[in-house]
Structure 1
Amino acid sequence: MVREVIFFLGIAIFLGAIWMIKDENISKKIKIIITVVIISSGIFAYIYETKKLDTADKNLQLLAEFRQGKSLVCGDINVTNEKFNYEFGTSCFMPKREFKELSGLVIKISDCESAK
């Protein structure tokens, strides 16, 4: 919450500084264009970051359930910590070596849902 306030306060201060410049140096048309571009970019960045944080929170919740031994539904496959390992570098579930029938299977955590 504090990051958002600081972000929007910084944008407001920057835009205020632009509008304080005399019209002889930068025309009103240019000031309006700059304002629209900055506000549009700020809104886009806020929406993007919010979506990324929601996805990260969902993935952390799924990983916590996986570590607790709960089953995750990934497409038509049930993923448990008995048969799969989680690879942090790729954010994927990989089957353990002793399960030859699952060999070569790679499941992204983003494709999974919590089993209810």
Structure 2
Amino acid sequence: MNLNNQPTIDELAEMFAAQKDTLDDHILWVEKSGEVKIDCLAPHSEEADFDRSHRELAARLKMYRRGQGYVGKKAAADRNFIEQVFDTINNAWASFKDSSQVKVIDRYY
């Protein structure tokens, strides 16, 4: 899903549904190109480590800790939650897409 190519809520929901909440921590992030990704993280990973190891990182949401229900099929089926995430990353993209600093999005719109 790319924020520059008229993304849809369904695309985002599919990304969330493809993850397993019980296995790993996850992080939703946006590349400088506008590509949105959800990555699994190693146990006990820190957000700062993620920031340093991803050169194409433009922005990210706070980490989704495993077992909290923020990713997976149930999260994808929660239309209100997915709409909040979708609106947040789309609205924020306009403000940070031309920035050279990493933007940490810590609240939903």
Task: Give the structure-2-normalised TM-score.
Answer: 0.27
Of the two, which has the highest radius of gyration? 1
Task: Give the structure-1-normalised TM-score.
Answer: 0.25
